[in-house]
Every structure is written in structure tokens, then in C-alpha cells.
Structure 1
Amino acid sequence: MCLRKPIAAALMVWGGMLPLHASAEKILHAVFNAQETGFDPAKVADVYSAAVIEHIYDPLLTFDYLARPVKVIPNVTTAMPTVSADGLSYTFHLRKGIYFAPDPAFKGKRRELTAADYAYTIKRLSDPSIASPLSDTFTNKLVGLDALVKKAAKGKLDYDAPVAGIQTPDRYTLQLKFKQPFPSLPYLLAGSWVEAQAREVVEAYGDNTNAHPVGTGPYMLKDWKPGNSISLVRNPNFRREAFHYDAGASPLDRRIAAQMNGKRYPQIDRIEISVIQEEQPTWLAFKSGELDVLSGNPSIPQPLIRQVLRLDASNPARAELKAEYRERGIQLNRSLEEGITFYTFNMKDPVVGGFGKDRIALRRAIAMAFDNGETIRNIRRNQAVPVQYIIPPNVAGHNPDFRAAYPFNPPLANALLDQVGYKVGADGYRDQPDGKPFTVDFVTGPTAIDKQWNEYWQKAFDRIKVRVDFRVVQWNEQAKALQECKYGIAGAAWGADYPDGENFMQLLYGPNTGGSNYACYRSARYDSLYEQARVLPDGPERNRLYDQMNKIVAGDTPWVYGDVRYTNGVAQPWVRGFKVHPNFNAIWRFLDVQK
């Protein structure tokens, strides 16, 4: 999972005298509803870890905080990159005077950010010894990188070896040259993963880099109790910047601009993050004022939606806080996620995987036995819309007219299983076509909401007389099982790292198995079309390829499609600058608290 600015821009003004924040320490209390896995950008891919990474490290580019649709703007560069006429080369010029947070690895010296740090970071993502879930980001794309990676397969990656596609002609200039056009590169470089790391820090901490993140971002890690709490404090070496928003026409944006413009960025001195997996305690903590913000992962818990919001049954896009919360000054900000939920089959699994006629029929039958509409009504409280396409609405490449999901139809599902030889045995459950009994391995989580989903899935398997075993594990173990292709079926979600269809179509690209391709799906036809599409800009030609790819996936059925959720973000009255963002994993650095 994962996994994200001049007009309406959250531009940061460089230099100059800035007003100091109040002497009292400003603390923001936030929460995760699942355990993080670590804070090395090359080693993790979950949204919880990414939320922290975004606050510690700096990408080259970033997203405008206010603009919708989202826009990419410079972050540590002097301007947007210069792109060659053929679309193959990108040149970035870094701002001077940006420093890493203090760390013993620097031996007491201030360490300036340079172009070499990004060159190192890019190579490290492709280092076979790291086994990064993001290894596909630049491998097979940058000129000369493949050869370096091939040599590393026989030993260590030589970070000092020259790579034609990664050049640093001077201390502050980075040049990237690709084999083919890469039109989505600016979006990718604004996400959570290509974050500058200092080589000496990585080498100092060896295998323990997940616990020792050191970046040039606004915060640094003070304390981490895995699965329990995370504490971030202001980076004393962070550059002096101020909020400056060009708010445009939106009343909310104008209010945020009035609240924040001219203030030092960031305003919050310390961020305290708790891990609370159950939804009821999360909401009680917010309701009592112990938490300042729920802005996604989690937002308003879905079991409590009807207690907190006034809903329009005919239109899930319309909702408002109930009077009790409005009168308290609670802030609500809503958006349809740029993401999807789905249930993924492990295509390598001996029970549900494979491309034989019987296995495809089994997956289709499972899909037709699951009532997605029922879970949207009863679990999501109608705060979601069904998925019919790999790419969700509001993301370039989405086709609203495509119908890929198999409709809820248990009689047809049973007839299909009968037809391919999954016969019902004396115990009332189906056996495989060879007569052997089988059980579907369903990896799930331990929370109350997981148990609720499992009840609906148990009904689905009962409808087609198929045995299922719910294997309960923690979220980090589930993520590991997905990446290692060691499960039968599991729930998953993908939020846009950047708002382009390529970020979703890559989820089923064969070489991404072990990373973002949780289905471990390999289709030569799909892969070929993906490779054609990824060099094309958004437009009719690329969309035609995307439709063909969706048809292939509908035929093979590596997924059971889920839904696209509404994020119902809330903040306390004393929080300033609050607006849900579709691509950032967390927005804490853009906020202020005035109690």
C-alpha cells in the first residue's frame, strides 16, 4: 500500500526575516490505525511509514497543498526541471544552503544537501541487496542503470560507478536520462519515495536504517516504539521558509491563506503519533480532544459515520457534520480518495492461483459470490462507490463507462464451479477437479472491522460451498505476505502516489511482483501493453491501451474489485490550515494549533 505547486500554491518563500512562533511548544496529536513498518524510504511501501517519511525527508518536487486538481511544484529545486525536446532528459538545479538534520554519522559537521545525494538515492532503490518494494521505479528506465544492477547481482552494487543516465555535473545539478519518455516523472518525484538520503548515514546504520531516518525535511525522529507511538520534533537545521498561499477562488483556501500566510513553516514543534488499531477508541480520543486531527488513515471511523454525519442517501458525495459537532467548531473536509480497495488473489498460490480454466473459474465464482453493494451499504455506510476499473475516478486515465467487475450472482457462480469440475462432496463442501479437498487461505487482520469484513466474506464462500480459513496476522505481517506471494487471498488498497493512471496500472505489471504487484500476476499481453502505455502522455491513445489492459484483467480475474472511499477528515477547532489532500499521506506539516 502505496503508495503522494505557483497557482494556488503552497510556495515556501526562501530566506528573509520571518516571524517567530510563540514561545510555548506547539504539539500536534495524530494517530495511525495500523502499525508502521519503518522509515527508510527504500525499504517500505505502506502509507503509515510514508506519512512519517514525508515529514523527515525531502523529495525534489512536491505537491501544491491547496490546488485541485493537484499540481506539482518545486521543493528543493530552484524551478521545475528542464526537459529535453525528445522528452528523455531532465535537469534539476538544487537550492543551496539546505542541510540534513544533525546526526552522529556527520561527526559534528553540518551536512549540505547535494545532487549526489539524489543520485545515490536513485541507485539505492535499484540495489538488489536492499530488495526495495520500489525497485521498479527506475530499473529498466534510466540509461545504464540496468548494467550496474546486473553486476550487483553477483556482489555489491558499486555506488561510485558512473551511470550514463544519472549525472551530477556540479554540486547542485542533477541530470537524469531515460531510455524512453517518462511523462509521469514529475508526479513520481513529488511522492514519498525518492527522498534524499545521505550515504554516510545509510552506511553508519547498516541494517538498522528503518529506525534511523535522517533527512533534510522539517522534522526528525525523536522516539519510536514500533506499533505503539512515534514522536517527531522540529529539525533544528531546517531551512527558514514561510507559508505563502495563492488561494484562488475557494472560500476554504482563502481562509487557510489568511490563517497561515507569513507564518514560519512548519508551525508545529512536535508531532506525537499514537497507533490505535480499533476505530471506537480512535474516535473517543478525538471526541475528547486527545487527538487534534483525523485526516485519512484514519478519518471518521466508518461504523460511526451515521452518528457523526448527516448523510444524503441518494448522493454519498453530500454530507455534513451533525449539529453537536458543528456547535463545537469541529472542522470537516471531505474528498473522494484517489485510490481503490480490492481483494487480491495470489496468482502463485496452489489453490486459487494459475491460469488454468478451473482456477480462473474459481476466482470468478468467488468474485460473483461476494456482495460488494452490501458491504458498501453496511460497512462503508454508503461512503464509497464501487470500483469498475483499475484506475479510480479523479485520476487521469479513468474510464467511467467501463464495466469490469463480475456482478453479484451466486447461482451463476455455483453453475460455473459445477461446469469446471469443483464438485460438492459428502461434507457439503467442494473438492478440486482432481477430487482432492481444498481450503482457501484468506489473510486478514485482528481488528473489529476486519472481523466484520470476514463475516461478509464467510457468507460469500458459504454461498458457493468453498472452505475458507481466515489467517489473522498484524498489518506488517500481511504486507510481508503480499510482497512475498505467500497467501491465497487478501484485502488491499492503493492510494495514488501521484494522480496519473500509470500509478495504478503498474499494480499488475509482472516485473513489479515482490513490490507493488501484490497479485504476483504475470501476463505477457498485459506487460506488453503496459510498456507501450507508460511512455505515452495522458490522452486517447493511452486510454485505448488502458481499456485493453482492463479487459485482460477482467478475463484473468486476479482481483475482486472493491470500492473508492470518501475521506471524511476532521480537525479540532484550534487546528489551522486544515484541508484533506489526495496525495500526501499526512498533512501535519501544513498545520498550526492555537489553543
Structure 2
Amino acid sequence: MFAVIPSTARAADPAATTPAPKVLRYSIRAAETGFDPVQVTDLYSRNVTSGIFDAPLRYSYLGRPYRLEPNITDGLPEVFDDHKRFVFKIKPGIYFADDPAFNGKKRELVAEDLVYTVKRHYDPRNKSGHLYRLEGAKILGLSEVRAEALKNKTPFDYARPVEGLRALDRYTVEIRVAHSDPRFLYHFADPMVGLMAREVVEAYGDRIMEHPVGTGAWRLAEWRRSSRMVLEKNPNFREMRYHEEVGPDRPAALVEAVKKLQGRKLPMVDRVEISVIEESQPRWLAFLRKEFDFMDELPEDFAPVAIPQNKIAPNLAKEGMRAIRYERADISASYFNMEDPVVGGYTPEKIALRRAIALGVDVERQVRLPRKGQAIPAQGIISPGVTGYDKAFKTEMSQYDPARAKALLDLYGYVDKDGDGWRDLPDGSPLVLEYATQPDGRNRQLVELWQKDMDALKVRIRFKIAKWPENLKAANAGKLQMWGMGWSADIPDGENFLGLAYGGSKGQSNKARFDLPEFNALYRKQHSMADGPERVAVMQDAQRLLTAYMPYKVEVHRIYTDITQPWVLGYDKNLYQRDFYTFVDIDTDVLAKAHVKKKP
């Protein structure tokens, strides 16, 4: 365990011979689930694994539009045969963090580690939540190895050679796929391909979620589950210098900071401390007390005081704070489990039930009240900020029409049959919705609106409250009837959202377990198409099917604001380069002055 450095002592002591470590502190609003890149799918765990594990590629931290760059590869991978063959060349001299699994030897990253990491997604034992993304292109031979393991109930054969995934030499990997995939490389900049060493995975076995060992800039130094995570510099991290570029149209403070940071060795801070605080008020108050260096995801409850008219409040601006407001490229949705006997199914009366419930949800009121205007109603499952989104695209996804909802329920036999004032199922048994949620204040406000909307339809609804990691586990196992969830883009492309309803991703991203042949065909069709109007048209047809069958009531696309303290240099929101803490610095002089001013 490491001693906690008080926030008032983080600046360098002029009398000391060596400066105090630079510590970046922030809080998150939902607990992590673990640190295995293959298994974790939640945003907060992935933000940590992205700093510990290297993906082959990365996105430029400040480059807009987002662009791919080499990370541990010597240049971008070569692409051949109409996006069906890809060659990765790994830079020599990249090393894993030290770990007992390496028996005291320094362990270099090699081609076989990329091969092994990809194969882990196909191993049924790991229950990868990302497999469908690789399966879209279909790496030749790997699906067959997986199918054999499932059929025979035998361990996945990692040693079996496959045509589509080969180490050509110590540093070169060739990947071949069956289906042309112009966006295949996007996945190799994602934390899901955080490169792992086989010795580590085998050493820790079922405890691998607790023992992350990578080649990234950071190592996990301390972990108290659902409470606190501490990252410290990986002593074995390679030489990497700050080289970000930012246009003159960006905020002046960011432009000035980028000039100062050029050529600095990364990472620039020594330690990152991440606290889990689920309730909004204590998170906000702790930030105002300068216990955290920036506010990640300003709680909507405090938007009116922190960003009135969506601009930083004068009192915060006077202190030197900076607000970064951005569309998240995400959705907030409530899903229906399509395998549930009450709300699932593809028959007309089941479709009518889901559509009626959706029509009875007042999204505009949700935006106005609990979300405090920090969201826009959704027309489909594809969010702003990614390929495939069209601002002019309109559906009834966010339409509020309680009269029509009641008429649909009446028409398909969801009426009060026993005279107790509540609607029943067509067979006369009680109609009861069970909606999973979390115990924090924001979710309490959201489910209160759901309660009012369903009461107005005379539909019973009960709420099943659990911690977020517990709900995620139950959702992946298909055990929840309904759940209010968010989904943020993994890549800057709408296919990432369509995958939420693709039959091949059931039990992974597809929490609704939707499996419609017509939708699956459209998903596969757009997958191999080049970007352009024709592909967008196919994606819109797929979204119309989702509106018709309503496995997801997509409610809003959220707008977030992060706020930095004046001593944080170089911070900007990058939705796809998640280890932002690698690219920022702390101005210790400004920090020291701020805390001197704070003292009585």
C-alpha cells in the first residue's frame, strides 16, 4: 500500500531536494468491474485498462477529426486485398511491466502476444464482450476453433494454427478475414485489444481480472474494489514524447498548454488516484474543495449552477477553471429482454406492448427535469459524432403519445380484466414490468418519471435496485427483464451502435438479446460497404427496424461537461483515446498558490 499524499501537499516543496510526486486525482460515478481487456465492457474499467495495456494503434489525443496513429507498431498496418489482409509490424524493445509471472526476467512484447490476445476473444471461457466486433470480418479459422471447443466442451486450442492469424516472425503479424472490412483497424486502437502475455494469464487464471500486467505507461499500484484505484508509472515504459497538435480554433488555454508540453516525456504525472463516488452531491462538493483535479462528467443536477447557459459560471471562471462540453457519442436507453415471457417476443401483441410502453415515456420531460437540458431526444440508436448519424433522420423513437399508447394496449388485449384498475396480459394474468436500476440519485429521478409514465398507462412497474456491476453481470446473462443503460461509442462509426441489436452479439453488447434475420442481414451488408450515402441508407433501414420492433427504447443522446482545475494542463475530451491521464500535466506553481489561498 502507498501513503496518501494530502491534496495540499502535492506541489513541490521549495526546501526539498526532490519535488513531491505529481498526483492527478479524479472521481467516477460507477464502480469498475475488473481489469482484463477481453472481459471488461464497462466504460470506467476500460478507461483504466487503456493506461495499463497497449493496443497496437491509438487515436491522436487532440487531433480532430479523430485519426489513427501507430502505438506499438512501426507505422500503420499495411492493408491488402480489399481490406481482407492486414500486416502489423511491432516495434522491437517494448517491455511488459515486471511481474512474478516472468520469473525475474525482462519480458519483451512480440508478435505472438498479439496473436494470443486476439485468440483470447474466441476462447469461450473468457466470455468476451467484444467478440462480435472481430467476428464481423470473420478472421479465417478462429470461429471453427471456438465452435469445436463449445461442441466438445474442451479447452480452446491456442496452439492450433489458423489461416487468418499468424506470427510471420518475432515482430510481424498477419491477419486475414473473410469479409472486406474497411474499418477493421479501428478495433486495434481499442482497449479490447490490450496486449497481454500468456504467462501472466496462465499464472493468475480466474484471478486475471485482478492482476493487469501490460506494456502501457501505467501499472496498478493499489485497488480497493468499488472504492479506489491507484495507477503509478510503469518503470519499463518505453521512451514516448508528447507530440500533440491543436488548431488555433481550439480554446486559447489548451493551445497555450500544448505549446508548453511539446517534447515532454510521457506520462508527465507520476500517479493517478481514481475514487468511486456514486452520488452526485459528494462528487461535486469534493471537486469544489479542490480534492479532485477535474470533474469528469459534471452531474446534471449541478449544471444550472456550474454551466448556466451552458458556459462556465463566472465564479468558477474567476478561479481559473475550464469547462469542456461535448456530445458523448452515446445513447441512454431502456432495453426489453426479447427472451422474457412478458416483454419479449416477435408476435404482434408483444411488439405492440413494447411500442406502447415506448410511446408512453415522456423523453422531453426527462431532458428538462433530471437531465437539466444536457441531452437531446434520440431518433435512432446511432448517436451524433459517428459515421452513419444523420441529423435529418426522424422516427417515432422519442415520440410521446400516451393516447396512442393506450389505444395500442386496448387493441391487443392488454386491458384490466379483474377490475383492480391495472392492465393485465391478454391471457388475464397480471402485467408487471420489472425494471433494473441503480441506487444513486440520478437513477432515482429517472425511475420516478418511468413510474409516473407507466402509472398514466395503468401498467404496473416495479424497480429492481442493485449496484451497477451486478446489473451488468445479470444483463449479460439475460436475467433482467428491463434495464436503463448507457452505451458510449468504442469507435467513431455507427456500426458500434447497430451491434447492440445484432444477433451475433447476444450476451455481449446486445443486452436486449434481439435476433431478427432482416436486421442481421442489414448489419452484415453495411459492414463491408465503403463509407458514403449508400451505407448510411442501409444503416437507416436498420434503425427503422429497431423502431418498429422496439427492443430498445432509445431515449436520449447525452451532452457532458468536464471541468478542470486551473493547474491541469493539456486536458481535452477524447472519446476514443481513453488514457487521457497520460497526456496531461499539473502546474505545481499554480497548484501551490491555489492551496495557499485556500488556507484560513
Question: TM-score normalized by structure 1?
Answer: 0.93
Q: Which runs of 5+ in 1 are unaligned?
A: 1-20, 312-318
Q: How much does 1:24 deviate?
A: 2.3
2:400 to 408, 420, 431: 408
2:486 to 464, 476, 493: 493
Q: Partner of 1:286 in structure 2?
A: 287
Q: Secondary structure at the match of 1:273?
A: strand
Q: Secondary structure at the match of 2:212?
A: coil
Q: Partner of 1:114 in structure 2?
A: 110
1:419-568, aligned counterparts within 5 Å? 419-424=411-416, 425-568=418-561
Contact 1:125 1:132 (C-alpha < 8 Å) held by counterparts: yes
Q: Partner of 1:208 in structure 2?
A: 207
Q: Partner of 1:315 in structure 2?
A: none
Contact 1:338 1:583 (C-alpha < 8 Å) held by counterparts: no
Instruction: Give distance in 2, aligned partners of 1:421 and 1:241.
Output: 65
Structure with more helix by fraction: 2
Q: How much does 1:585 deviate?
A: 3.7
Q: Which runs of 4+ in 1 moved over 6 A?
A: none
Residue 590 (1) aligns with residue 583 (2): yes
- Number of matched residues? 565
Instruction: Give distance in 2, aligned partners of 1:63 and 1:249.
Output: 20
Instruction: Give distance in 1, aligned partners of 2:307 and 2:574.
Output: 20
**Per-residue displacement from partner, 1:176-234 (whole Å, max 9, x unpaired)?**
10101111112211111111000000000000000000000000011111101111111
1:38-53, aligned counterparts within 5 Å? 38-53=34-49
Q: Secondary structure at the match of 1:545?
A: helix
Instruction: Give distance in 2, aligned partners of 1:341 and 1:242.
Output: 37
Residue 151 (1) aligns with residue 148 (2): yes
Contact 2:402 2:457 (C-alpha < 8 Å) held by counterparts: yes
Contact 1:389 1:399 (C-alpha < 8 Å) held by counterparts: no
Q: Which amino acid aligns with 2:458?
A: K
Instruction: Give distance in 2, aligned partners of 1:251 and 1:352.
Output: 47
Q: How much does 1:248 deviate?
A: 3.0
Q: How much does 1:586 deviate?
A: 4.7
Aligned residues: CA RMSD? 1.4
Instruction: Give distance in 2, aligned partners of 1:33 and 1:586.
Output: 17
Q: Partner of 2:173 in structure 1?
A: 174
Instruction: Give distance in 1, aligned partners of 2:520 and 2:330.
Output: 22
2:316 to 303, 321, 325: 325
Instruction: Give distance in 2, aligned partners of 1:247 and 1:491.
Output: 37
Q: How much does 1:54 deviate?
A: 0.6
Contact 2:363 2:398 (C-alpha < 8 Å) held by counterparts: no
Contact 1:126 1:136 (C-alpha < 8 Å) held by counterparts: no
Q: Partner of 1:195 in structure 2?
A: 194
Farther-moved stretch of structure 1 (512-521 vs 552-561):
552-561
Contact 1:133 1:514 (C-alpha < 8 Å) held by counterparts: yes
Contact 1:98 1:239 (C-alpha < 8 Å) held by counterparts: yes
Q: How much does 1:289 deviate?
A: 0.5
Contact 2:60 2:577 (C-alpha < 8 Å) held by counterparts: no
Q: Partner of 2:305 in structure 1?
A: 307
Q: How much does 1:438 deviate?
A: 2.4
Q: How much does 1:402 deviate?
A: 2.1
**Per-residue displacement from partner, 1:19-71 (whole Å, max 9, x unpaired)?**
xx974211111111011000001111000110100110000000111112211
Q: Which amino acid aligns with 2:307?
A: L
Q: Partner of 2:7 in structure 1?
A: none
Contact 1:267 1:591 (C-alpha < 8 Å) held by counterparts: yes
Farther-moved stretch of structure 1 (35-44 vs 135-144):
135-144
**Per-residue displacement from partner, 1:542-573 (whole Å, max 9, x unpaired)?**
11211211121111111112111112111111
Q: Partner of 1:6 in structure 2?
A: none
Instruction: Give distance in 2, aligned partners of 1:272 and 1:62.
Output: 23
Amino-acid identity (%): 38
Contact 2:94 2:238 (C-alpha < 8 Å) held by counterparts: yes
Q: Secondary structure at the match of 2:58?
A: strand
Q: Partner of 1:267 in structure 2?
A: 268
Q: Secondary structure at the match of 2:55?
A: coil
Contact 2:325 2:561 (C-alpha < 8 Å) held by counterparts: yes
Farther-moved stretch of structure 1 (237-246 vs 34-43):
237-246
Instruction: Give distance in 2, aligned partners of 1:552 and 1:401.
Output: 18
Q: Which runs of 5+ in 2 are unaligned?
A: 1-16, 592-600
Q: Which amino acid aligns with 1:384?
A: A
**Per-residue displacement from partner, 1:327-361 (whole Å, max 9, x unpaired)?**
10111111111111111111111111111211111
Instruction: Give distance in 2, aligned partners of 1:584 and 1:284.
Output: 28
Residue 25 (1) aligns with residue 17 (2): no
Q: Partner of 1:14 in structure 2?
A: none
